[in-house]
């Protein structure tokens, strides 16, 4: 088959695939350095509005509760990684060049996992190099994706192997009418092994969700491949994505996966080496069920206001894990049963997100400090690539001047009368839910629960004079006597 370069991607010369809408997104991303919001002109009016509406409203005090958790934790990570990689290496022939796909998620100890895996592959006779496997993340540019990996300590200077980043793809064929795109560097190497985490997906429920199959089909498909699968909505993710992974296995390209399962404390619980034939099959299904058992949870059925210190792509693909906050916001899809949260107020965006506030539409209110970190180009590139799944999640919430204003707005609009108790919870992020600050209504209900331990009585929420809320970990340390200030 003759491969030629068309419009930024490699395709078979006899391909009749039309130019992709994603090519316009990529062109826009390459020509746009930043598209951040400047709210200086709007701020005085917003400050007057907040003062008029909420000057007489006070936030509730909060006490600390801790979930009684004893999740499994892997004791010797490096030995586990070496053992898993050796199993894979024995099955891959011939030795020689091997692409290693690494994604954009904030996996615990990712730098160590990748370093040890590369060392084990080299010892087995391979010549590994890194390829970013993250779809449209990193602003849908090669430089942006390399920068995301560098933030995790994954670069040539520290690992001694090349990081070959490109957004160019080769179209290999079709699965269920969907064109299969694959990173050009992977195609040239002929083989790829992926390193990632198995976990519940934030968009759908199925037998195969986030894991090596998804990384191969969507992450290594880059922006074009990701958009093609997302264009089919939930069906594309649930049904087509695993089939694309099996297609890559059958072609001898996807040769294995180093898979991590994390516990509810954001620690590595298990490491497994999956052969290519085991990806998108019963073993990956089994590991997903295990990940569901170990994932973080918020231990309350009804919450009026959830305050979240930070959201970000290194925390979840949707900034805040939809499985933790229990809301999807996908047109045509029912919201899941379980915890009900009236308003969510994230306060900051992680630096590792590089302005990509994907999932911000899951919130109702945000402060100006978060809004001004949002790069609309990165956010929209991610949302457009996600298709219908990204429509509501890419919309901006209501913006208030300060953290305090945003929290008070959420309290005032939470659907309660003045005499009804306020159920407010405050977490660091959706990866860390062991210790939670809660208002008196939730604190009182926690006293009789065997799964919760009360750590402190209710204290005022630690807003400073500018209306900024101290991070929850600092508040916890302060109450424990470990710091003078929250």
pLDDT per residue, tens digit, the chain (486 aa), is 233 222 333 333 333 333 444 445 444 444 555 789 899 999 999 999 999 999 899 999 999 999 999 999 999 999 999 999 999 999 999 999 999 999 987 899 999 999 999 999 999 999 999 999 999 888 889 999 999 999 999 999 999 999 999 999 999 999 999 999 999 999 999 999 999 999 999 999 999 999 999 999 999 999 999 999 999 999 999 999 999 999 999 999 999 999 999 999 999 999 999 999 999 999 999 999 999 999 999 999 999 999 999 999 999 999 999 999 999 999 999 999 999 999 999 999 999 999 999 999 999 999 999 999 999 999 998 899 899 999 999 999 999 999 999 999 999 999 998 889 999 999 999 999 999 999 999 999 999 999 999 999 999 999 999 999 999 999 999 998 777 778
| pLDDT score recorded for residue 33 | 54
pTM of the predicted structure, to 2 decimals:
0.86
Cross-strand pairs, 63: 438
What integer pLDDT is reported at residue 483 of this predicted model? 73
CA-to-CA distance for 206 and 330, rounded, in angstroms? 16
Look at residue 339 in the predicted model and tell me its pLDDT.
94
Report all structural domains of the chain as residue ranges with CATH numbers, in order of start.
43-69+296-479 (no CATH), 77-294 (3.40.50.11440)
Q: Look-up: residue for tokens 């490699």?
A: 10
The pair of three-digit structure tokens given for residue 16, joined into one six-digit string = 């009749």
Tell me the C-alpha to C-alpha distance, in Å, between residue 235 and each of 181, 203, 221.
18, 11, 17
How many C-alpha atoms does 384 have within 13 Å on its Cβ side?
A: 20
């Amino acid at each position: 088959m003759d491969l030629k370069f068309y419009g930024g991607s490699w395709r078979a010369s006899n391909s009749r695939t039309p130019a992709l809408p994603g090519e316009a997104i990529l062109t826009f991303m390459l020509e746009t350095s930043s598209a951040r919001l400047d709210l200086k002109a709007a701020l005085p009016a917003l400050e007057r509005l907040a003062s008029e509406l909420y000057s007489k409203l006070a936030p509730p005090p909060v006490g600390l509760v801790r979930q009684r958790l004893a999740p499994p934790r892997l004791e010797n990570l490096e030995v586990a990684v070496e053992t898993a990689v050796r199993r894979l290496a024995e099955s891959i022939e011939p030795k020689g060049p091997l692409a290693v796909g690494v994604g954009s998620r904030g996996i615990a100890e990712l730098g160590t996992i990748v370093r040890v895996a590369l060392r084990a592959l080299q010892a087995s006779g391979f010549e590994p190099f890194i390829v970013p496997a993250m779809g449209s993340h990193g602003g849908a540019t090669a430089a942006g994706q390399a920068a995301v990996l560098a933030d995790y300590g994954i670069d040539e200077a520290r690992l001694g192997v090349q990081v070959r980043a490109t957004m160019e793809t080769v179209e290999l064929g079709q699965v269920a009418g969907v064109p299969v795109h694959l990173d050009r560097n992977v195609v040239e190497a002929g083989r790829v092994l992926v390193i990632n985490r198995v976990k519940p997906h934030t968009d759908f429920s199925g037998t195969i969700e986030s894991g090596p199959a998804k990384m191969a089909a969507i992450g290594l498909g880059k922006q074009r491949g990701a958009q093609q699968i997302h264009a089919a909505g939930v069906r594309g993710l649930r049904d087509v994505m695993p089939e694309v992974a099996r297609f890559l296995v059958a072609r001898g390209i996807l040769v294995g996966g180093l898979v991590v399962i994390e516990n509810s404390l954001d620690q590595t619980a298990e490491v497994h080496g999956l052969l290519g034939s085991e990806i998108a099959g019963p073993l990956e299904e089994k590991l997903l069920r295990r990940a569901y058992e170990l994932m973080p949870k918020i231990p309350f059925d009804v919450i009026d206001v959830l305050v979240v210190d930070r959201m970000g792509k290194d925390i979840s693909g949707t900034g805040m894990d939809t499985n933790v906050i229990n809301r999807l916001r996908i047109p045509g899809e029912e919201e899941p049963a379980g915890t009900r949260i009236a308003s969510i107020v994230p306060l900051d965006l992680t630096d590792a997100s590089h302005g990509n506030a994907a999932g911000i539409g899951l919130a109702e209110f945000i402060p100006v400090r978060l809004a001004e970190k949002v790069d609309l180009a990165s956010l929209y590139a991610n949302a457009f690539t996600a298709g219908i799944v990204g429509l509501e999640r890419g919309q901006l919430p209501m913006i208030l001047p300060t953290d305090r204003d945003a929290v008070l707005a959420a309290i005032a609009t939470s659907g309660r009368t003045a005499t009804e108790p306020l159920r407010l919870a405050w977490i660091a992020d959706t990866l860390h839910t062991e210790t939670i600050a809660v208002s008196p209504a939730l604190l009182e209900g926690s006293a009789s629960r065997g799964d919760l331990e009360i750590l402190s009585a209710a204290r005022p929420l630690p807003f400073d004079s500018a209306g900024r809320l101290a991070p929850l970990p600092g508040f916890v340390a302060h109450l424990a006597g470990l710091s003078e200030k929250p």
